[in-house]
Amino acid sequence: MSEHEVLSPLPGTFYRRPAPDAPPFKEDGAAVAVGDVLGLVEVMKNFQEVTAEHAGSSITFLAEDGEAIDSEQVLARISE
Amino acid sequence: MKIRSVLIANRGEIAVRINRACRTLGLRTVQVHSAADRDSLAVRLADRAIEIGPAPAAKSYLRIDAIIEAARASGADAVHPGYGFLAENGDFADAVAAAGLIFIGPDGDAIRLLGDKVAARQIAAEAGVPTVPGSTARLADVDAGLALAHRIGYPVMIKAAAGGGGRGIRVVHSAEEFARQFPQAAAEAAASFGDGGLYVEKMIESARHVEVQILGDGQRYVHCFERECSLQRRRQKVWEEAPAFDLPAEVRAQMCTAAVKLAARVDYQGAGTVEFLYDRATTSFYFIEVNTRIQVEHPVTEMITGLDLVAEMIRIAGGERLSIEQDDVVIHGHAIECRINAENPARNFLPGPGTIKSLKVPHAPDVRFDSMLFEGYTVPPFYDSLLGKLIVHGADRAACLTRLQSVLNELVIEGVPTTIALHAALAADASVAAGNIDTRFLEGWLPSQFP
């Protein structure tokens, strides 16, 4: 079984939800299709979507909601 | 003056600017900062620096308790809020005062009163200042809004009472659209501002944004003339000028007098800005809102008047009377400010933090660069993208534009994307030179210039 890493395109703040009181884009363990929104990276008050480039049966998030992240940091792993 | 030591509750270029004003007045400075700003210029310049939390602003620059504790621990006797963050938070001003410290700005009641955009419209109307046709109170419900919109005519703007600064605004063109947008606007306002109150203003189709700088000590009030800030993207100012170059003399006098009347009406203390829309076709102007803080674009006013607005607001907070009479404030020449942001105009203004590899700033008596940059500084991703403000002075607007082109050419910032190329294109543009601009000009011009 192979795994794919989801990397942050930019340094900034990672959000797993579209709004503070909304449910997460993806729960831990959820299945993922290509193009699914996995989270947002806020850089200088500008929000960039992080989307899945690989499909998988289960996603495991490594970065928490609201965590400060670096460029190329692993945000999540997708298992096929 | 009662103030000897100022805590700077902000970051970036404005923290550096406040530090400079404090030095002019011989005051000690305390800089609070987040973990992401340990290496900042503001921290280096201050007499003392105190870390108040991690990078996210909600856990550092927005923490009232941590800032007041830092002021106590460092023996500061006053707090300067800068702009953004807690600058227009009446509860912060109250908390500072309750701790026995001086808030450099108007008191909490004045901030709350003018921060409620519906209340501010009522005060303006009472002071005899023309307002944009629209609500005299918060809308009770969607039907009240529809009736008002029908009376004043579409298009109208649905605005959040607790909004301001271009946030919480929806433009609607019909009754159907109004009925659809109203509940969304109320929900969004409640989520964004903690207050779902809405009001309606008529959309002024072709307008300039012109704003008047005021100073008040609670007894006397003066204006420092106006700024022209029509070049905006997504309702955020990009380029500002002083004075508003083609404002007829009698309109300038009326607008500035209206701003002073409004300041007197609320016993205003400190520096503030009264914002207007100006319709050049009819030479009418309409009040929009008051900002109860120093503004990003204050340097253009300083360049044409010779005043130090930040030092003046500190003196007023320290209990001194205004140091100037109205007749002392005189316009000399013209000034333009370009906001240099870490954004790429060729990639839809995508912001890019990073490390400054090279910095070359032109130095001349007619040039000012307000910035927190130095070579080797890493611009963090957690805050806004403003890197600095390039301000140029000229004998008149044409001379200022010519000089601006050469100065922009000399300014070099390498390591992060910047909007220098945008400003160079604007400075060379025939429509900008002719003054054929309004608040919608820039967004219409960008696709042809930066596709």
Nearest CB to A13; choose among B56, B342, B385:
B56
Q: Which domains does chain B have, with CATH numbers?
A: 5-104 (3.40.50.20), 133-202 (3.30.1490.20), 208-449 (3.30.470.20)
φ, ψ at B407 (rounded to 5°):
-70, -40
Inter-chain Cβ pairs, chain A and chain B, closer than 8 A: 42
**pLDDT of res. B334:** 98
Nearest CB to A46; choose among B54, B55, B351:
B351
Interface with B, mutate which of A15, A21, A40, A44 (most B CBs under 10 A): A44
Q: Does A11 touch chain B (CB under 8 A)?
A: yes
Nearest-Cα distance to chain A for B347, in Å, is 13
**pLDDT of res. A1:** 63
A54: domain range? 3-79
Nearest-Cα distance to chain A for B263, in Å, is 32
**pLDDT of res. A9:** 85
- Cβ neighbour number for residue B58 with a 10 Å cutoff: 10
Query: Residue A45's pLDDT band (boundaries 50, 70, 90)?
Result: confident
- Cβ neighbour number for residue B87 with a 10 Å cutoff: 22
Q: What is the mean pLDDT of residues A24-33?
A: 96
User: Pairing mode, if any, of strands B28-34 and B5-8?
Assistant: parallel
Nearest-Cα distance to chain B for A57, in Å, is 33
**Among A41-50, B106-115, B212-221, B285-294, which is the least confidently predicted range?**
A41-50
CATH number at residue A41: 2.40.50.100
What DSSP string describes B260-317?
HHHHHHTT-EEEEEEEEEEETTTTEEEEEEEE-S--TTHHHHHHHH---HHHHHHHHH
B16: CB partners within 8 A, 6+ apart:
B41, B42, B45, B370, B371, B372
**pLDDT of res. B187:** 87
Name all contacts of A30-34 with Cβ < 8 Å and 24+ positions apart.
A30/A58, A30/A59, A31/A55, A31/A56, A31/A57, A31/A58, A31/A59, A32/A56, A32/A58, A32/A59, A32/A78
Q: What is the mean pLDDT of residues B24-34?
A: 98
φ, ψ at B446 (rounded to 5°):
-60, -45
Query: pLDDT tens across B227-285, in order?
Result: 999 999 999 999 999 999 999 999 999 999 999 999 999 999 999 999 999 999 899 99
pLDDT at B92 over 80: yes
Query: Residue B163's pLDDT band (boundaries 50, 70, 90)?
Result: confident
Q: Does A73 touch chain B (CB under 8 A)?
A: no
User: Pairing mode, if any, of strands A67-69 and A12-15?
Assistant: antiparallel
What are the chain A neighbours of B384 within 8 Å (beta carbons)? 44-45
Q: Which two tokens stand for residue B116?
A: 């409620």
Closest CA to B310 of B87, B160, B90, B32: B87
Query: pLDDT tens across B188-238, in order?
Result: 888 888 889 999 999 988 899 999 999 999 999 999 999 999 999 999 999
Q: Which residue of B has its CA nearest to A13?
A: B382
What are the chain B neighbours of A15 within 8 Å (beta carbons)? none
Nearest CB to B385; choose among A10, A44, A66:
A44
B381:A45 CB<8 A: no
Query: pLDDT tens across B329-362, in order?
Result: 999 999 999 999 999 999 999 999 999 999 999 9
Nearest-Cα distance to chain A for B342, in Å, is 9
Query: Tell me, what's the ipTM?
Result: 0.79
**pLDDT of res. B192:** 82
**How many domains does chain A divide into?**
1
Active site residue B167: no
Interface with B, mutate which of A10, A46, A73 (most B CBs under 10 A): A46
**pLDDT of res. A34:** 95
